[in-house]
Structure 1
Amino acid sequence: MTSSSSTTATINAISRWLNYILAIPMIVLGILGATLTIFIFTRKSSFQRNPTIIYLLAGATMTAIHLPTVYIQSILVDGFGLGIFNTNDLACREHNYLLYVTTVIAISFPCWAAFDQYASTSRDASFRHRWSSIRVVRSAIIGTNLFWSIVYLPMLVYSGVENRTCILTNVTYRKFNDFLLTPLIYTIGPLTLITLFTRGILLNLNRTTVQSKRDHLTRQIRRMLIPQLIFLAMSGIPFGLQNIYFNLTSNVVKSSLHRAVEHLCIQIIRLFYHFNFVFTFYIYLYMSSEVRKLFRRMTTKFSTMDSSIQEGMVMETCKIEDSTYI
């Protein structure tokens, strides 16, 4: 085996082990975190009435859909060589459609949450009441789901398998997606919105004396949201630009070592971007005393229930033993 072949094999092995060691535990943590977020955010009445929390709850719900339906498929292909969507056109179309739709919807809701924080801290009372309300939240959630579901419908038509790889078969649409749609949605859009809204929130807080500035729950929500927005903006840059690189180099003849390095980079970028989905709950848990309080209450309740069940089983066992002796 040549030095180049040995290096290629090593890099490919690293790519596979990234899935075994990191990706699989991340999926477990992510699904657990999304489930706990949904459970906790629906257990407190003040959370249920807060527009920002409802946006974050919608994001957690979409994360709970994205991780098992999309990310697991990618791990099966890259980590175990089970080419589900790389061998079947229908599976390829389903994978590409869900990949883009669930990802974009999930990252849209933190942006909506940032907008709600901007609206709720505005000095203009009519603007606050108009845009920071439950009615607007419901309309935004439904509209966001419908809008992105329609925008990405061409994925169901233009996706297909070529050379055992799931790709966009229509060249024009592929260029449109790679050079315009993906960078705009994953990089330019979130980065711009997050920067504008965060700056607006800080300006509003410095200029206004509205009650929400002094409200404990509002401060807790803001502490949860801002780290999430910062990481979303940072991770979106490489994730949104990778397709441009691959489109520009699609006609370049690449060695097996070159392809192995590219594949490893894709794995790292994807892992980095999925931190948005996986560690959101744990950011909430670390940054918010309200979430920690509810989490402790929940775990205590489950521990008590478990103890009660065990005690009941012991009592039933004792009754059976007593009746046996009789």
Structure 2
Amino acid sequence: MSMLDIATKLSFWGPVTLFALGIPGALINGILFIGIKTFRQSPSSYYVVGQSLFDIAALLILFLPIFPSLPLMSSKISCRLMVFFSEVTVPCAMSFLCLAAFDRWACTSRSARIRQLSSKNIARCLFPMPFLFWSCVNAPYLIFVDYVPQLSSCWFTNDLFQQIATYFLTPFMVALLPLIILVIFGILTHRNIRLIKHMHIQQNQARNRLSQWEQQMTRMMIAQTCISIICILPQLIGLLYSVATLNTRAMRSYDQVVLEYLIGQITTFIIGINFASSFYIFFLSSPRFRKSIKTYLKQLIQVRDNRIGIMDASFTAQNAVTQHQDKHH
């Protein structure tokens, strides 16, 4: 099997696999962090829900292009909207992950003033900010991108914005900056946890229960941060390579083109893992998260059984009344 065949198969089965695994996981994440009271007590729940929403959007953007019959890039309006939402979705998902990493650092800090930054009120205020910020940053895509019939795809209509997007927005704002933020707050959070373990502070039972859940949230977020860093690195390297070799693309051989296409598909699949893996990372890294899921499912089943029992009792009572009336008639 040639490299081109491998890249072609990966371009189809990669998005299909990520979509099949990631969409259910992201939906379950959103339902759990909204539906379970213990989860809602943590400010990070807002960021997890926001990330889940944009993870779904990112997986859809990766999945839909495998259907050539869909007119995603065949007109000026659909072309601009598709490119705009593609450029907004991925940074938004990464922004919520960065906010969660910041929240874990603030939550584990020994400084009371810094711990105040980890609150549900602040999380509510910050919740719409990633979408608003990245919509403003990427608004020029709605103006300076258009459908080019000769290329059968979207391309820039403004040379200046093309250079800004190629050399600054995509490599720095989308890949390098989130990576730096995740690494910094991941290290700081790990340092805070090590300091906390050496502290012996008396706390009441309720505080201990909350602390245990916050510790589990911190553990989950650190695990997700590590996976995200691993997933972002290949994309960042690929983007830097593309920028460095931009002026020499016309001199590439066929084998180089195929190899770069294969590497591009691999890096796309790896970054897609970042959007599809949150629920599975939480499930594997936190025993309390697994226990909460089991308890939540039991409650749902019990409520359903109770409703069925009530309906059966009501139906039986109606039958009894009907039979009694028939006897009198």
Range into which the TM-score falls when normalised by the shorter chain: 0.7 to 0.9
Deviation, structure 1 residue 187: 3.1
2:125 counterpart residue number: 139
Q: 1:234 to 1:175 in 2, by over 3 A?
A: farther
1:180 counterpart residue number: 168
Q: Which amino acid aligns with 1:249?
A: L
| Pair 1:39-2:31 in alignment | yes
Q: Which amino acid aligns with 1:174?
A: Q
Deviation, structure 1 residue 299: 4.3
Q: 1:275 to 1:305 in 2, by over 3 A?
A: same
Q: Which amino acid aligns with 2:62?
A: Y
Q: Which amino acid aligns with 1:152?
A: N
> Which residue, out of 105, 108, 131, partners 2:92?
105
Aligned length: 301
2:76 counterpart residue number: 89
1:3 counterpart residue number: none
Unaligned 5+ runs, structure 2:
320-329
Alignment check: 8 A CA contact 2:108 2:115 kept: yes
| Pair 1:203-2:203 in alignment | no
**SS of residue matched to 1:50:** coil
| Cα offsets for 1:242-296 (capped at 9, x unmatched) | 3444353355244444333222221111100011111110111111122212322
Q: Distance in 1 between matches of 2:85 and 2:227?
A: 23
Please say which of residues 271-280 and 191-200 is displaced more in the overlay: 191-200
Alignment check: 8 A CA contact 1:186 1:237 kept: no
> Which residue, out of 177, 183, 189, partners 1:189?
177
TM-score (norm 1): 0.81
**SS of residue matched to 2:110:** coil
1:75 counterpart residue number: 66
**SS of residue matched to 2:171:** helix
CA RMSD of aligned residues (A): 2.9
Q: 1:213 to 1:242 in 2, by over 3 A?
A: farther
Q: Distance in 1 between matches of 2:27 and 2:40?
A: 16
Larger CA Rg, structure 1 vs 2: 2
Alignment check: 8 A CA contact 1:178 1:244 kept: no
Q: 1:96 to 1:106 in 2, by over 3 A?
A: same
Deviation, structure 1 residue 97: 0.9
Q: 1:298 to 1:28 in 2, by over 3 A?
A: farther
Q: 1:116 to 1:58 in 2, by over 3 A?
A: same
**SS of residue matched to 1:87:** coil
TM-score (norm 2): 0.80
| Pair 1:260-2:228 in alignment | no
| Cα offsets for 1:18-49 (capped at 9, x unmatched) | 24433202102111001000111112212112
Alignment check: 8 A CA contact 2:46 2:127 kept: no
Unaligned 5+ runs, structure 1:
1-6, 320-326
| Pair 1:233-2:232 in alignment | no
